[in-house]
Amino acid sequence: MKLSCIVRKQHYQFSSLKEVLAKASEEKSGDVMSGLAAHSALERMAAKVVLSELRLADIYENPVIPYEDDEVTRVIYDDLNLSIYNEIKDWTVGQLREYILSHKTGLPELTRISRGLTSEMISATAKLMSSLDLVLASQKMRFQAYCNTLIGEPGRLAFRCQPNHPTDDPEGILASIKEGLSYGSGDAVIGINPNNDTVESVSRLLHVSHEFIEKWEIPTQNCVLAHITTQMKALENGAPIALMFQSLAGTQKANEAFGVSKQILDEGMDMMYKIGTSVGPNVMYFETGQGSEVSLDAHCGVDMQTLEARTYGFARHWKPFMVNNVSGFIGPETLYDGRQVIRADLEDLFMGKLHGLPMGIAPTYTNHMHADQNDQEIAGILTAVAGANFYMGVPGGDDVMLSYQDTSYHDDASLREMLGLRPLREFEKWLEKMGIMEDGRLTERAGDLSLFD
């Protein structure tokens, strides 16, 4: 494995694959803070040159965290299709990039090859791509999943109605659900971030959202984004759950900090199959995002982008209905400004899709970052063109419970209208029955909460 090269008459020598991957990354404040980033643009370019010439077998034989030490590595390697891997193991990373971007390569080829790629290989390929490359490659891949609705069909764009409330007040949450639905948001899921993570409080919110969905015969799924063990207790006690949530990360150490493991996820999904309310078979909802391992001091010397790819390698084991990327949610210590957030959104959408996942994007930012609404809207448009399955729908784009900025109900409607996209099939029929949508466009009744009186 050659880990050196000469750029502009300067010799660059790297000590490991892990270092090459880190220094080939586009600049991110979290990698700089961890001491992993390239020291100059030339060193970054040298790392990209070295990376482009490495064989996929070099990467396979040198996981960034050893199999023996890390559960995420074990899940990724144990799920790999070795027949497909053996067909391509002598390709260089540069050749893989060319194959993905070739106009002769479509969804069937990418779906097959993805089963033979480790997450580090996918991260390495993304590091050799420009933003336009990432959009083009992502656009080729569209993966579907079914809970109570079918997500990921071409020509359709879904939204999670996110009716958070700072005190989990049921009346406040219901008002927000009605507003979101009245703008056509909620076909991906009606998903509430709870303030109170107790079984009793989470169960109450599950009952409130489920009963509203039942009363108005809405083709969607409910979810309360509490810790998975809280949801499992609530489910055991009879609470109606259609979709089970958990945040994931790319190292075992970070997942332990989240209080989650493969065993817990297996148990949660098994419970959903036995006593969950949804049709399935895709009953899990995961959220991810570059930087969580850094903020937990659990990055194990690996760059943020590669860890995010490993999170997708871990997530695909449970065949989720939704994977939502929320890079930008943490703050400037991981992604400093709008430029870094936009790049991370594009990388993550591509890497998640190349893992075969039904990906959504939340182009978020916090108010202490050097980013604003314009950056968020640019990220939203680019990732929508790249074929994200869904976005968030937050009242006014300002989350009153979590204090960060995300896409609003109005942004959702604009994205659909600009790109000629429709709601999920079953949900569109419901919107038409309610008089909210006609021929794919919102009617004059959109935004009128008296629809639910």
Q: What's residue 208's pLDDT? A: 97
- Arithmetic mean of pLDDT, 56-70: 98
pLDDT digits (tens, 9 = 90+) for 126-181: 999 999 999 999 999 999 999 999 999 999 999 999 999 999 999 999 999 999 99
Res 329: pLDDT: 85
The whole-number pLDDT of residue 328 equals: 85
Question: How much is the average pLDDT of 59-80?
Answer: 98
Residue with tokens 């038409």: 432
Q: For residue 129, which phi and psi values (nearest 5 degrees)?
A: -105, 145
> Which of 58, 81, 49 is closest to 355 using CA atoms?
81
Instruction: Provide the token pair at 417.
Output: 């209208």
Which H or E run includes 223? strand 222-224
Measured CA to CA, the distance from residue 138 to residue 347 in angstroms comes to: 9
Give the angle 42-48-52 at the CA atoms, nearest 5°: 150
For the segment 386-431, what is each residue's pLDDT rounded down to a tens digit?
999 999 999 999 998 888 899 999 998 999 999 999 999 999 999 9
Instruction: Tell me the per-residue pLDDT of 327-365, one tens digit each, with 9 for 90 and over.
Output: 888 899 999 999 999 999 999 999 999 999 999 999 999
Q: In which residue are the tokens 């400004």 written?
A: 337
pLDDT on residue 402: 85
Q: For all residues of the chain together, what is the average pLDDT?
A: 96
Rounded CA-CA distance 177/262 in Å is 33
What is the average per-residue pLDDT within 176-198? 97
| Preceding omega of 281 cis (within 30 degrees of 0) | yes
Distances (CA, A) of 32 to 22, 46, 333, 335, 428: 10, 17, 9, 10, 45
pLDDT value of residue 338: 95
Maximum CA pair distance of the chain?
Answer: 74
Q: What percent of the chain has pLDDT over 90?
A: 96
pLDDT of residue 400: 87
